[in-house]
Structure 1
Amino acid sequence: MRTSFFRRSVIVLSATVLVVTACGDNGGGGGGGDGEVVGEGDGVLQLGYVLPETGQLAFLGPPQIQSTKFAIKTINDAGGVLGEPIPEPAAGDEAGQEGVAVQSAGRVLASGVDAIIGAAASGMSLAFIDRVTGAGVVQCSASNTAPTFTDYDDGGFYFRTAPSDSLQGPILANVIREDGHDRVAIVARADDYGRGLLESTRQALEEAGATVDLAETYDPEATNLAQLAQQVTGANPDAVVVIAFEEGTQIMQRLIETGVGPQQVGVYGADGLRSEELASLVSPNNPGVIAGMKGTAPASAENAEYVSQLKEFAPDLVELQYAPQAYDCVTIIALAAEQARSDDPAVFAPEIVGVTKDGEKCTSFEDCKRLLEDGADIDYDGVSGPLDFVDVGEPGRATIEVYAYNEQGKLETLRTEESVGEG
């Protein structure tokens, strides 16, 4: 189970005890009143990341890593956190392998970080979340979308700027139904991401009157996916949903070979397949073979200024998916530390939800920090859009992009739709 509101209240009380203790130790200082650092921190906010530099999601590594570093530079240019610059982040590769991800998280933790950005994949985060949050270190993911995290018992130390797939599934189902499809086959990775989005999409499709004739999970490590394609063909669907990462290119190839590709039926993907390179990976000599394929993914606000500045900072970046969300992870952690006047995770973690909602609007670390110094309650609207965290530390609403591949196999954004969670 994810930590309850009651348990978060306990964390706040614990943090208050730390603050009071620190105030007593410093002769009544701290608490933001005189600028002294409180809690058990050392006065320097130390960050690290565990993100994919190799493996199936390696295409998501560079945008998140570079955006993390860009956020740190932006914060340091604005005076840093608690009057000190954030050092170079400790780096770890999640590599698409749980064992490697766990080892990387261990090394990053051993460097003395206060917060970790990552992992990119939900399964990789689940492999080490207990180790991170159990150590009293904050974890913030820019791209974990599995519904599992909403109710996960993380002690109040896990956050995400990406929305749950419980918000994406209904939009994906709506796109499929709008295109006139009634009989749907869904294939998904046999992990928390795949199963979560499969169930969310299936439920929404069935509520909308469609029939889901096949809902099959597969081993993402399988080397032969021909049998999976045969199962799809046997279901005789008029639409196919593929919830996959890089291995989805093989599934697409097999579907096309068996006559259930985008030229014959509706084919849909999700955020794991949204890539500028998908067409060339599926068919280097005929990228138009995936023309007509559609999908959904968590979107970012139209933010030309941020994109321009990020590309100036990292000119070689091609993919930008989840880069804004990574930037926002860093920024809300920094703002929470400023609000708490502490780099101690036990003290600043309870402030993270609050800096994203119900206060005076601000859109940059510098502006938000100035408001905090004036004693204001802030509402940071990120470069990915308004965050408005719910009590469990994740967005309660989401902007979902509907994308498609054109006749040349080029990725295009068709539109965006709002999705709001219950309660």
Structure 2
Amino acid sequence: MRHWKTSLLAATILSAGAVAAQAQDCEITVGMVMELTGPAGAYGQAGAKSVEMAFRDLNEAGGVLGCNLVTDTRDSQSQGNVAVDQATQLVNIKEVPVIIGGIISSVSIPILTSVTADAGVVQVSPASSSPTLTQLGRDGKTGGYFFRTITSDALQGVAAAKYAMDSGLDNLAIIHVNNDFGVNMMREFSSAYEKMGGTITSTTPYNENQPNYSAEVTAALDGSPEALYLISYPVDGATIARTWVSQGGPQKYLLNDGMNSTDFIEAVGAQYLEGARGTSSGTEETESTKYFYDNYAAFSDGIEPSAPAADRSYDAGAIVGLAIAKAGEASADAIRDSIRAILDPEGTPIYAGPEEFAKALDLIEKGEPIRYEGVIGNVAFDEFGDISGPFRLWQIVDGEVVTEGQFAADEVAEIRESLQ
């Protein structure tokens, strides 16, 4: 009996090995342009690992169209011109049907306007929140090829203004990165904040990658603000915050989602950021959320699952992979037309992880509808590739980011409407 079991086990292993070898005989390459270095490097590194994890899970589930999903990952260096060069190579030389990226809007927008839209290649950004991307869709300049798994700053600025006023931060200076993301966030916030009765003592833009920001901080301190709203990325943001502290700025802060970063807190010093508040695009917890939080740190060699862009990057990878399976071919038009189909409200719920993806692939093969419920919650794209979702309200306490509450998307939309 023992010999029979051993033989059966050996046969099973050989069979599984043959299937795995067969799956590895072909690959479907997806382009990825991420900010692996530069001011947004922490975001891009977390995001890239998340996409790789989603693809690993899909491959362990049997692969897509009988093939393994792989990435050709390029570093944008957090610069739009570099991103365009890398995306052009991926489209023209590698002939990828999809590009995942970038993380920040100043990278995603030039990729979209200079490469993917004209080439008819799908682009999915996990974390670019600029309202400009919505406007490009409204103006018919995306061809329907662009999607993003983050809410627009048009609403996040309103959420930040409401949170500031609710927290007693009714007099502040603004320092913001001088790019599409920073300018739009500043405008949306300022408009809502002042209509709610808040006072902005000064607004100071800054250019990235400067060795110091003494002049900007000096300008922001003019008018004696009671707090600082810092719209930035972890590297430059830490330099600005340290300068703010050294020049005697009040240690009350409102921060954007990018400052929800261990690197930022450690670089500034937790003691100087105690009580700082911030907003981020939120999540609605699903089984996918639990799976991701239980498994991501081990896969990513220690990057925390709460790292900015990590959760929504996994969803970007999962949606792309499942859409390719649904499309039945790795062509851009078919993938574009299948993305919403794997989020069918009437479909069988599917969550993250190999077992769930195996179920999804089986249902797709049978022609049955599925509804992927992501790490960030139920995702649904509107006609411009945007999603709606809640906004997380957080605070830095003892060096840790602690969730304090949440604004529902409908609530924020109603506030914005009332301020028009």
Shorter-chain TM band: 0.7 to 0.9
Query: What residue in structure 1 maps to residue 319 of structure 2?
Result: 332
- What are the within-5 Å matches in structure 2 for residues 246-285 of structure 1? 246-262=235-251, 266-283=252-269
Q: What is the rounded CA distance, in whole Å, between the counterparts of 2:221 and 2:202 in structure 1? A: 10
Whether the 8 Å contact between 1:168 and 1:419 is mirrored in structure 2 is no
Deviation at 1:59, TM superposition (A): 1.0
Q: What is the rounded CA distance, in whole Å, between the counterparts of 1:389 and 1:290 in structure 2? A: 36
* Match among 267, 278, 282 for residue 295 of structure 1: 278
Deviation at 1:341, TM superposition (A): 2.1
Q: Which runs of 5+ in 1 are unaligned?
A: 1-42
Whether the 8 Å contact between 2:392 and 2:405 is mirrored in structure 1 is yes
Deviation at 1:361, TM superposition (A): 4.4
Q: What is the rounded CA distance, in whole Å, between the counterparts of 2:105 and 2:385 in structure 1? A: 16
Whether the 8 Å contact between 1:92 and 1:107 is mirrored in structure 2 is no
Query: What residue in structure 2 maps to residue 348 of structure 1?
Result: 335
Whether the 8 Å contact between 1:353 and 1:393 is mirrored in structure 2 is no
TM-score by length of 2: 0.82
Deviation at 1:328, TM superposition (A): 1.2
Deviation track 1:155-198 (CA, whole Å, cap 9, x = no partner) reads 11111111111121122111110112322322211111101111
Please tell me whether residue 54 in structure 1 is matched to residue 69 in structure 2. no
Whether the 8 Å contact between 2:79 and 2:106 is mirrored in structure 1 is no
Q: What is the rounded CA distance, in whole Å, between the counterparts of 2:232 and 2:169 in structure 1? A: 21
Q: Which runs of 5+ in 2 are unaligned?
A: 1-25, 352-356
Q: 1:207 to 1:133 in 2, by over 3 A?
A: same
* Match among 230, 235, 245 for residue 223 of structure 2: 235
Query: What residue in structure 1 maps to residue 409 of structure 2?
Result: 419
TM-score by length of 1: 0.82
Deviation at 1:366, TM superposition (A): 3.2
Deviation at 1:139, TM superposition (A): 1.0
* Match among 399, 412, 418 for residue 409 of structure 1: 399
Please tell me whether residue 316 in structure 1 is matched to residue 302 in structure 2. yes
Q: 1:278 to 1:44 in 2, by over 3 A?
A: closer
Q: What is the rounded CA distance, in whole Å, between the counterparts of 1:353 and 1:207 in structure 2? A: 37
The Cα RMSD (Å) is 2.2
Whether the 8 Å contact between 2:201 and 2:222 is mirrored in structure 1 is no
Count of residue correspondences: 372
Q: 1:161 is aligned with what amino acid?
A: T
Deviation track 1:366-388 (CA, whole Å, cap 9, x = no partner) reads 33333333433333211221112
Deviation track 1:56-83 (CA, whole Å, cap 9, x = no partner) reads 1111122211111111111112222223
Q: What is the rounded CA distance, in whole Å, between the counterparts of 2:193 and 2:50 in structure 1? A: 35
* Match among 361, 366, 369 for residue 377 of structure 1: 369
Taking only the aligned residue pairs, the percentage that are identical comes to 26
Deviation at 1:132, TM superposition (A): 2.3
Q: 2:268 is aligned with what amino acid?
A: V
Query: What residue in structure 2 maps to residue 148 of structure 1?
Result: 132
